[in-house]
Structure 1
Amino acid sequence: MTTETRQAYLLAAERAVQLLAAKEVARRWEEESVLPGMSVGGLAGHLARSILQVEWFLDGQALGAEPVSPVRYYARLVGTSVPDSALNVGVRARSEETAAAGPTVVGEQAQAAWQRLALRLDKEPADRRVAILHRPGEEMLLDGYLQTRCVELTVHLDDLALSVGARCPVPEAALAIAVDVLVAAARERHGDQAVLHALARRERDVHQALLVL
């Protein structure tokens, strides 16, 4: 699974690099995106961070804490659908911080990081851990973290492409990983009965059980 996960991640990251370099993104940088309260630039910054952060986390110091699974990473999130939740405020702040450099720099930084990762990931061992720097004390196995980045890349590639009217199909391998992780997170958060209702009896889906993000 290690090789497949890393290849799927790199393909999705490459697609993100291509979209970030699109003229439509630069032209609409200051405009509102399809995500309320987030500009196109902020959304682009958020997308870019799913490439930049992998490198930052690899360069951080992992101390040997029990690794968090990608399913748990999402299942425990609180306030995903509340615009002013601490979670969403933090995401927007980090995204706008990255976007402040402007479309050209953000695109160049993402491309350079992707190129380095394409060489680096192949050399990292299967048991490699990374520190989750915005959650002090937490760690994940590298491949588990890359699965969460597949979620972020596939979701926000779609968001950014729709925001600027661009066509940007998402690689199937990354989509499959994202769906697997999010459905598993929904099962952990709400239980199988609720997920069954969401899949087969929408009129009984009182918890919107499949809405993880």
Structure 2
Amino acid sequence: MTTSPRSVYRKGVDVAVGLVGSEAVADAWDAPSALVGMTVGELAAHLARSVLQVEWYLDGPLTPDAPLVTAVAYYGDLTGTAEPTSELNTGVRERSAQTAAHGRDALVAAVVAASDRLRERLPHEPADRRLTVGHRGHTLLLDEYLRTRCVELAVHTEDLALSVGSDVRAPASTTAVAVDVLVGAARHRHGDVEVLHALSRRERATTDALRVL
């Protein structure tokens, strides 16, 4: 079984794009989603950005000589993840609303086209290909960034599916990468002892170490 980040990401993208373009999402576009403060359309846009942003950042400016950030550190260093009004979560909602504002048809057309282009492009990008994430300023290897997108695909495919009563979920391989990254982020943020307690001795835990996002 192929487990490269690029192939696992592609599998997750195929499922997510199908869900974003589904009639169930179209019918509920303006309804509240499973995430507080976001409509179904805005959540669909947020999920779609896991495809759109890869192309944007591949074609965008690269910060020269920037230290490389891993997928684990990308999430492990986040702050304000549990606070709805944090700068992080406010920014997510604002960017999602901006993307959704173009309308359902425009979003579906854009994400399908980007997915098709990435299908052809990703296999030909070199192993040392870097990109800089515009809104955070981090520079990652492409494959590490795709591991972060597997997290987004796994988490938000389920969020969107639950919002419209669908049983669609990300592929098992995409979810496995997401779990690997998030457990690594928990270790990065809280240390191995706290993660050990969260997994085996909750009565000794001093924090909710496994809650990363």
Q: TM-score range by the shorter chain?
A: over 0.9
Dislocated runs of 4+, deviation >4 Å:
none
Instruction: Determine the structure 2 residue equivalent to 1:58.
Output: 58
**Secondary structure in 2 aligned to 1:167?**
coil
Residues 1:98 and 2:99 are matched in the alignment: yes
**Secondary structure in 2 aligned to 1:134?**
coil
Instruction: Determine the structure 1 residue equivalent to 2:86.
Output: 85
* Distance in 1 separating the partners of 2:59 and 2:3: 21
* Distance in 1 separating the partners of 2:32 and 2:203: 33
Residues 1:192 and 2:192 are matched in the alignment: yes
**Aligned-residue offset at 1:3:** 6.8
Please tell me the residue identity of whatever aligns with 1:95: S
Structure 2 stretches lacking a partner, 5+ long: none
Write the deviation string for residues 67-103 of structure 1: whole angstroms up to 9, x where unpaired. Answer: 1111000001000010000000000000010011111
Instruction: Determine the structure 2 residue equivalent to 1:169.
Output: 169
Task: Give TM-score scaled by structure 1 length.
Answer: 0.96
* Distance in 1 separating the partners of 2:108 and 2:170: 18
My pick for the range that moved more, 195-204 or 180-189, is 195-204
* Distance in 2 separating the partners of 1:154 and 1:22: 17
* Distance in 1 separating the partners of 2:24 and 2:153: 18
* Distance in 2 separating the partners of 1:35 and 1:169: 16
Please tell me the residue identity of whatever aligns with 2:181: V
**Aligned-residue offset at 1:169:** 2.6
Please tell me the residue identity of whatever aligns with 2:186: A
* Distance in 1 separating the partners of 2:79 and 2:144: 20
Please tell me the residue identity of whatever aligns with 1:92: R
* Distance in 2 separating the partners of 1:128 and 1:3: 19
**Aligned-residue offset at 1:156:** 0.1
Residues 1:7 and 2:14 are matched in the alignment: no
Instruction: Determine the structure 1 residue equivalent to 2:116.
Output: 115
Among all aligned residue pairs of Structure 1 and Structure 2, give the percentage whose two residues are the same amino acid: 54
Q: 8 Å contact 2:3–2:173 — kept in the other structure?
A: no
Task: Give TM-score scaled by structure 2 length.
Answer: 0.96
